[in-house]
Amino acid sequence: MRGLIYSGEAIIFLSCIIFSTLVANSSAGDTISAKQGLRDDMNLTIVSAGGMFELGFFSPGHSTNRYIGIWYKNIANRTVVWVANRGIPVRDNSGVLRINVNGSLVLVDGSDLVIWSSNSSSSAVNPVAQLLDSGNLVVKYGKEADPVNFLWQSFDHPTDSLLPGMKLGWDLVTGLNTYLTSWKSADDPSPGNYTTRVNRNGIPQLLVLRGTNVQFRFGPWDGVQFSGSSLSILDLSFNVFPVYNQKEITVSFDVVNSSIAMRVVLKLSGEAQFVRWSDATQNWEAYSTAERDACDRYALCGPYGSCNIAQAQLGKSICGCLKGYQPKYPEKWRLTDWSDGCVLKTPFGCGTGDRFVRYSGLKLPDTSRTWFNPNMNLEECESTCIKNCSCKAYSNIDIREGGIGCMMWIGDLIDIRNYRENGLDLYVRISARVRNISISLLVVLTVLVGLYVIHALRKRMRRIRGIVLLPQERIGTTENDEPYFDLPLFDVMLIAKSTNFFSPKNKLGEGGFGSVYKGTLDNGQEVAVKRLSKDSKQGINEFKTEVSFIAKLQHRNLVRLLGCSIEEGEMLLIYEYMPNKSLDSLIFDKELSKSLDWPKRYNIINGIARGILYLHQDSALRIIHRDLKASNILLDREMNPKISDFGMARILGGSGRITNTTKVVGTFGYMSPEYALDGIFSLKSDVYSFGVLLLEIVSGRRMKGFYDPDPNLNLLGHAWRLYQEGNLVNLISSAIVESYDESEVLRSIQIGLLCVQPYPEDRPTMSFVVLMLSSNIELPSPKQPGFFIDRKAQESDSSSSQYFDISLSKRLTMQIAPLS
CATH number for 531: 3.30.200.20
Kindly state whether residues 6 and 138 are assigned to the same domain: yes
- The total of structural domains in the chain comes to 4
* pLDDT score recorded for residue 234: 47
Most confident of the ranges 50-59, 335-344, 532-541, 648-657: 50-59
Q: Are strands 623-624 and 238-244 parallel, antiparallel or unpaired?
A: unpaired
* pLDDT score recorded for residue 35: 79
Kindly state whether residues 572 and 589 are assigned to the same domain: no
pLDDT higher than threshold 80 for residue 540: no
Kindly state whether residues 639 and 746 are assigned to the same domain: yes
The Cα 223–Cα 204 span in angstroms is 13
Q: Give domain status of residue 164, yes or no.
A: no
328 annotated to a ligand binding site: no
CATH number for 66: 2.90.10.10
Element (H, E) at 213: strand 213-219
pLDDT, the chain, mean: 81
The Cα 497–Cα 270 span in angstroms is 54
Instruction: Give the model confidence (pLDDT) of 203-225 as tens digits.
Output: 999 999 999 999 999 888 888 77
* pLDDT score recorded for residue 347: 86
Q: Point out the domain boundary residue: 576, 597, 622.
A: 576
% of residues, the chain, pLDDT over 70: 77
Give the Cα-Cα-Cα angle 157, 161, 164 (nearest 5 degrees): 90
The Cα 748–Cα 605 span in angstroms is 9
Give 503's contacts (C-beta < 8 A, 6+ positions apart).
Answer: 517
Instruction: Give the model confidence (pLDDT) of 388-444 as tens digits.
Output: 888 999 999 988 877 889 999 998 999 999 886 667 899 999 887 655 444 455 555
Residue 733: pLDDT band with limits 50, 70, 90: very high
Residue 352: pLDDT band with limits 50, 70, 90: low
Q: Point out the domain boundary residue: 576, 592, 614.
A: 576
Residue 820 CA from chain centroid, whole number: 34
Q: What is the DSSP string of 235-301?
A: STTEEEEEEESSSEEEEEEEESSTTS-EEEEE-TTS-EEEEEEETTTTEEEEEEES--SGGGSTTTT
% of residues, the chain, pLDDT over 90: 44
pLDDT higher than threshold 50 for residue 233: no
- Greater pLDDT, 820 or 482: 482
Residue 108 CA from chain centroid, whole number: 40
Q: Give domain status of residue 109, yes or no.
A: yes
Closest among 388, 441, 425, 427 to 410, alpha carbons compared: 388
The Cα 164–Cα 80 span in angstroms is 15
* pLDDT score recorded for residue 329: 92
Q: Catalytic one among 160, 366, 584, 627? A: 627
- The domain of 763 spans 584-811
Element (H, E) at 358: strand 354-363
The Cα 526–Cα 508 span in angstroms is 13
CATH number for 630: 1.10.510.10
Kindly state whether residues 532 and 662 are assigned to the same domain: no
Looking from the CA of 417 toward its CB, the CA atoms found within 13 Å total 27
Kindly state whether residues 139 and 26 are assigned to the same domain: yes
Give 374's contacts (C-beta < 8 A, 6+ positions apart).
Answer: 397, 398, 404, 405, 406
Catalytic site residue 156? no
Kindly state whether residues 591 and 718 are assigned to the same domain: yes
3-state secondary structure of 629: coil
Give 500's contacts (C-beta < 8 A, 6+ positions apart).
Answer: 506
The Cα 414–Cα 332 span in angstroms is 18
Kindly state whether residues 688 and 806 are assigned to the same domain: yes
Q: In this predicted structure, which of 323-327, 364-368, 395-399, 706-710 has the lowest mean pLDDT?
A: 706-710
Kindly state whether residues 569 and 591 are assigned to the same domain: no
When pLDDT is averaged across residues 17-31 and rounded to a whole number, the result is 53
Q: Give domain status of residue 265, yes or no.
A: no
- Greater pLDDT, 145 or 727: 727
Kindly state whether residues 539 and 598 are assigned to the same domain: no
Kindly state whether residues 7 and 130 are assigned to the same domain: yes
* pLDDT score recorded for residue 605: 97
